[in-house]
């Protein structure tokens, strides 16, 4: 029964929206069919779970039409009408909350009818003036300007020879150049990031030479061109120059380009880090600090788990604990709801571990008992607990032998039952715990021979997780020092 659109649509509504929908559907307002309203009232009481036994067609018919013979066609028709009414309500509600969208729709209708009152003409002029006054124009602003000028050429200045109409066409051409240059530049960056080819084809000019001269002066275009020209020569010096350029031009960038450039630099920093350029960590921290300060890391009131983990991990590695704790407290609430608590718990435990705070082992053990779900951060918590217990085991703290072994074995069993994550990711986690257990054995009794050490280092270096790899290799170095 869940395949019916009416029930699918109802499941997406919250309590406030259901109250508004009730007013919308009430006979005498938008729907004269009382049966549709009765069906809604019945289904509303089942929201949000909609038990399967109560939404069968026969049960619905008996509930809303108890004195009539069963008619499957009638029930299906009522469900269809209810679904259409819900969708009409959602469109109406969205338009009411977005006056600019309502205006655009009204102007499109007026354009099709080739009619416009003085009010619409003034609305077009006001919209153009408002958008023109913006120092930094986003892609949406440019689109709206193009559309507003197009409306004006057809509704306000309809005569083909009108000098104002010709001026409007020149403005349309101007903003089209800016809009498509930005799109072309952004697309070029996407291609560059996802391709091993770092140079243009020999038979065509680079993208930044194909766009009009007037738009090459845009801050975003200049940065993208600079990034693209030097993409084949990654270095710490290049990264720092690009980071400083980004900081300088930031006030002149639309939010979309701020985020694109930030992510380009994050990926560039990751490549340098992967290549063993340790000094880049300090530069990445400065980049993240800027992005947090300017709220670039937030998109649609959400921070991605990857960005959250990356920023917090780099801050802890650079021992910027005050920043890390402030970031955790201010940005943890922007994580997706399903992983918010796990993310906050992981962040708190990571900071305590890196600061070597008292009671960290006890907090780790307590957390391991109630972290049941398999989110990105619950898995990170398990890895972090392994590191914390390993260090306690290494220090020969009382009782850590059994706790460490139990944690490793319990996590291995959980990984074997886990079906949510890709096999490669689960294999990587399994290998990490295997290496941790293998190394732990060599802190007590067993000696790690030179040949075995070389082989182990080679195997670990093939792993993709940079942080896990660095931690494991650091433990090998500690074993080497202990052997000497």
Using CA atoms, how far apart are residues 374 and 429, in angstroms rounded to an integer?
A: 13
Identify the band that residue 325 occupies on the pLDDT scale cut at 50, 70 and 90: very high
CA 282 from centroid of its chain's CA atoms: 24
Output DSSP code: residue 32: -
Q: Is the peptide bond before 193 cis (omega within 30 degrees of 0)?
A: no
- Torsional sign, CA 46, 50, 53, 59: positive
Please give the average per-residue pLDDT across 376-397, as a whole number. Answer: 81
The predicted structure's pLDDT at residue 199? 46
Using CA atoms, how far apart are residues 281 and 266, in angstroms rounded to an integer?
A: 11
Identify the band that residue 397 occupies on the pLDDT scale cut at 50, 70 and 90: low
What does the DSSP assignment read for 123-143? HHHHHHHHHHT-SS--HHHHH
Q: In Å, how far are 112, 125, 169 from 153, measured between CA atoms?
A: 13, 12, 8
The answer to whether 36 and 44 are in contact (CB under 8 A) is no
Percentage with pLDDT > 90 across the chain: 27
The predicted structure's pLDDT at residue 418? 66
Using one digit for the tens of pLDDT, what is the confidence trace for 122-147? 888 888 999 999 989 988 899 999 98
The predicted structure's pLDDT at residue 237? 93
Write phi, then psi, for 299 (nearest 5 degrees): -140, 125
Using CA atoms, how far apart are residues 357 and 35, in angstroms rounded to an integer?
A: 65
Question: Residue 308 above 90 pLDDT?
Answer: yes
Average pLDDT, the chain: 83
The predicted structure's pLDDT at residue 420? 65
Among the listed residues 368, 299, 360, 355, the one whose alpha carbon sits nearest the alpha carbon of residue 325 = 355
The predicted structure's pLDDT at residue 201? 46
Write phi, then psi, for 302 (nearest 5 degrees): -140, 145
Identify the band that residue 212 occupies on the pLDDT scale cut at 50, 70 and 90: confident
Using CA atoms, how far apart are residues 231 and 234, in angstroms rounded to an integer?
A: 6
Using CA atoms, how far apart are residues 265 and 310, in angstroms rounded to an integer?
A: 13
The predicted structure's pLDDT at residue 366? 81
Please give the average per-residue pLDDT across 80-94, as a whole number. Answer: 90
Among the listed residues 259, 288, 261, 258, the one whose alpha carbon sits nearest the alpha carbon of residue 273 = 288
Write phi, then psi, for 163 (nearest 5 degrees): -60, -35
Question: Residue 31 above 60 pLDDT?
Answer: no
Percentage with pLDDT > 70 across the chain: 87
Using one digit for the tens of pLDDT, what is the confidence trace for 237-271? 999 999 999 999 999 999 999 999 999 999 999 88
Q: Which of 206-215, 228-237, 301-310 has the highest mean pLDDT?
A: 301-310
Identify the band that residue 350 occupies on the pLDDT scale cut at 50, 70 and 90: very high
Using CA atoms, how far apart are residues 301 and 423, in angstroms rounded to an integer?
A: 31
Using CA atoms, how far apart are residues 61 and 208, in angstroms rounded to an integer?
A: 65
Whole-model pTM? 0.73
172 CB contacts (<8 Å, ≥6 apart)?
A: 146, 149, 150, 153
Tokens of 331: 């940005």
Please give the average per-residue pLDDT across 346-353, as a whole number. Answer: 94
The answer to whether 36 and 85 are in contact (CB under 8 A) is yes
Higher per-residue confidence, 1 vs 256: 256
């Amino acid at each position: 029964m869940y395949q019916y659109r009416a029930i699918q649509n109802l499941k997406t509504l919250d309590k406030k929206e259901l109250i508004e929908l009730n007013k919308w559907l009430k006979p005498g307002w938008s729907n004269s069919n009382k049966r549709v309203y009765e069906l809604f009232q019945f289904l509303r009481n089942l929201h949000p779970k909609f038990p399967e036994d109560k939404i069968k067609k026969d049960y619905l018919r008996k509930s809303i039409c108890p004195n009539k013979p069963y008619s499957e066609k009638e029930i299906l028709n009522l469900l269809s009408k209810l679904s259409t009414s819900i969708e009409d309500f959602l469109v109406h509600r969205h338009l009411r909350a977005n006056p600019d969208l309502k205006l655009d729709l009204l102007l499109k209708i007026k354009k099709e009818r080739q009619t416009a009152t003085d009010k619409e003409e003034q609305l077009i002029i006001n919209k153009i003036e408002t958008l023109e006054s913006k120092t930094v124009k986003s892609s949406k602003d440019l689109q709206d300007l193009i559309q507003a000028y197009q409306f004006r050429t057809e509704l306000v200045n309809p005569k083909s020879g009108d000098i104002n109409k010709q001026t409007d066409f020149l403005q349309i051409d101007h903003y089209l150049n800016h809009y498509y240059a930005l799109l072309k530049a952004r697309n070029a960056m996407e291609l560059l990031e996802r391709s091993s080819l770092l140079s243009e084809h020999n038979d065509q000019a680079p993208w930044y030479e194909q766009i009009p001269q007037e738009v090459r002066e845009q801050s975003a275009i200049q940065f993208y061109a600079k990034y693209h020209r030097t993409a084949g020569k990654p270095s710490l010096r290049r990264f720092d120059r690009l980071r400083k350029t980004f900081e300088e031009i930031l006030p002149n960038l639309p939010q979309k380009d701020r985020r694109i450039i930030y992510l380009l630099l994050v990926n560039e920093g990751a490549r340098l880090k992967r290549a063993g350029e340790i000094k880049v960590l300090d530069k990445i921290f400065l980049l993240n600090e800027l992005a947090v300060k300017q709220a670039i890391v937030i998109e649609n009131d959400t921070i991605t788990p990857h960005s959250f983990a990356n920023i917090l991990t780099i801050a802890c590695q650079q021992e910027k604990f005050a920043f890390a704790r402030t970031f955790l407290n201010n940005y943890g609430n922007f994580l997706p709801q399903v992983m918010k608590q796990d993310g906050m718990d992981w962040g708190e435990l990571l900071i305590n571990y890196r600061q070597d705070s008292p009671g960290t082992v006890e907090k780790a053990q307590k957390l391991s008992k109630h972290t049941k779900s398999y989110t990105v951060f619950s898995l990170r918590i398990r890895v972090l607990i392994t590191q914390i217990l390993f260090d306690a085991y290494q220090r020969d703290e009382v009782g850590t032998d059994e706790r460490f072994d139990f944690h490793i074995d319990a996590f291995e069993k959980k990984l074997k039952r886990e079906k949510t994550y890709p096999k490669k990711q689960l294999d990587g986690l399994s290998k990490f715990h295997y290496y941790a257990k293998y190394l732990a054995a060599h802190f007590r009794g067993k000696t790690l021979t030179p040949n075995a050490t070389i082989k182990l280092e080679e195997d670990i270096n093939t792993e993709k997780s940079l942080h896990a790899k660095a931690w494991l290799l650091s433990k090998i170095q500690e074993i080497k020092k202990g052997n000497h």
